[in-house]
Amino acid sequence: MNSSQAQFASPILTLTVNPALDISTSTDLVYSGHKLRCNGSHIAPGGGGANVARVLHRLGGHALALYTAGGTTGDTYRKLMEAEGIPALVATVDGDTRQDFTVDEASTGKQFRFVLRGAELHENEWRRFLELAKRSIRAGGYVVASGSLPPGVPDDFYARVARLARQADARCIVDTSGPALAEALAEGVFMVKPSRRELAELLGATLDSEESHINAISALLENGSAECVALTLAEAGAVVATKAGVIRLAVPSVQVVSTVGAGDSFLAAFVLRLAQGYPVNAALATAVASGSATVMTPATELCRPDDVARLEAEIVARAANPS
Ligand SMILES: Nc1ncnc2c1ncn2[C@@H]1O[C@H](COP(=O)(O)OP(=O)(O)OP(=O)(O)O)[C@@H](O)[C@H]1O
Ligand SMILES: [Mg+2]
């Protein structure tokens, strides 16, 4: 990236309506009936939009993170975001910010993830969140709506965000699943980043071949659901469709430690590159590098910038000299 691209990057706003304090640890073996003595623990501010803002920041970009926070867990969450230097706009809510718990089983390499249900958001709270989003969306900028919705928030929440973005002449990017994803696509967004599992669930299809992937993402483009569809395929990389065509990219060879946060890292890098004015193929290279760099780090830890730069260089070199 050159400095003028960084300086003139379009503004990015990330939304996290269902954040979670991610607590992670490891133990030798998980079994029932006895106390499981754990090794050291790590705590991080998680949730889709927040992770996107954190990775963007690590990669030298800037995003404003709008998130809800409540109770003592919410206070800790804010402090952790502040400690990482993430510019934030906090919507204070009544319910406690939820916590997630991840345990790596050291003797087997298995991972156990306990995802707690968030506290219910009252109607006045989610409406206020939308109001704050509306005030923070910038014309020509990007709005990244990522993660699940907490109880109490209607399924069309991200569809409402997409409408606000369109009215403000901004681009809405959605990464979620189930009915919230379906409603956002029915409204129409700039970009969507489903994983294979999320897209298969949405379409009620298996998506087990390259042809099925390309057909599915092309259909979303043609019916106006999105202008850019990035389907991530875990260890098989990603495939992106825009009106300019379809591009596929394989992952570099990495040692897989924990896949948590891979999709958020992919999306952060992709948006950062678009906001800096890079073309889609360059954005995809940084995105795959960033997703793959995150699987090299333990538990909920996100990518290290050095790994991203190294993997990106590998991807670019491979594209220039395909063997
Ligand atoms: N096993 C892996 N090896 C190498 N890279 C991986 C692996 N898993 C994920 N990645 C990287 O992370 C990106 C996103 O992964 P994935 O498709 O699993 O999305 P996700 O959003 O994390 O999935 P989900 O939301 O369903 O949990 C991939 O495109 C790839 O770059
Ligand atoms: Mg995902």
Nearest CA to ligand 1 atom 1: 235
DSSP 84: T
Task: Give 191 Cα–ligand 2 centroid separation in angstroms.
Answer: 14
Cα dihedral 135/50/152/113 (nearest 10): 180
CA 305–ligand 1 middle distance (angstroms):
17
Angle, CA of 105, 106 and 110, to the nearest 5°: 40
State how beta strands 20-27 and 42-46 pair.
antiparallel
Catalytic member of 22, 264, 306, 307: 264
Query: How many C-beta atoms lie closer than 10 Å to residue 237's C-beta?
Result: 20
Pair type for strands 189-192 and 226-232: parallel
Distance 124 CA to ligand 2 centre (A): 28
CA 185 to chain centre: 17
Top mutation candidate among 148, 217, 292, 311 for ligand 1, by most atoms within 8 Å of CB = 292
The residue whose C-alpha atom lies closest to atom 13 belonging to ligand 1 is 291
pLDDT digits (tens, 9 = 90+) for 259-271: 999 999 999 999 9
Edge-to-edge strands of the sheet including 88-92? 88-92, 64-69, 12-16, 142-146, 171-175, 189-192, 226-232, 238-242, 245-249
Which residue is associated with the tokens 């003592």? 72
pLDDT tens digits for range 154-185: 999 999 999 999 999 999 999 999 999 999 99
How many residues does this entry show for the chain?
Answer: 323
On whether the CB atoms of residues 300 and 261 are closer than 8 A, the answer is yes
DSSP-assigned letter for residue 183: H
SS3 assignment, position 277: coil
Q: How far from the centroid of its chain's Cα atoms is residue 42's Cα?
A: 20
Select from 144, 251, 297 the residue to mutate for testing ligand 1; criterion: most ligand atoms less than 8 Å from CB.
251
75 noted as active-site residue: no
Nearest CA to ligand 1 atom 25: 195
The number of angstroms, rounded, from the C-alpha of 275 to the middle of its chain's C-alpha atoms is 16
Q: Which residues line ligand 1 (CB under 6 A)?
A: 195, 197-198, 232-235, 237-238, 251, 254, 256, 259, 262-263, 266, 288, 291-292, 295
Domains defined along the chain, listed by start: 7-30+38-320 (3.40.1190.20)
Q: How far apart are CA 252 and CA 229, in angstroms?
A: 21
| 158 membership: H or E segment, kind and range | helix 157-167
User: What residue spans of 173-261 are helical by DSSP H?
Assistant: 178-187, 196-203, 210-222
Per residue of the chain (323 residues), give pLDDT as tens. Answer: 444 455 578 999 999 999 999 999 999 999 999 999 999 999 999 999 999 999 999 999 999 999 999 999 999 999 999 999 999 999 999 999 999 999 999 999 999 999 998 899 999 999 999 999 999 999 999 999 999 999 999 999 999 999 999 999 999 999 999 999 999 999 999 999 999 999 999 999 999 999 999 999 999 999 999 999 999 999 999 999 999 999 999 999 999 999 999 999 999 999 999 999 999 999 999 999 999 999 999 888 999 999 999 999 999 999 888 76
Q: How far is the CA of 300 from the centre of ligand 2 (A)?
A: 13
Closest CA to 53 of 173, 140, 222, 159: 173
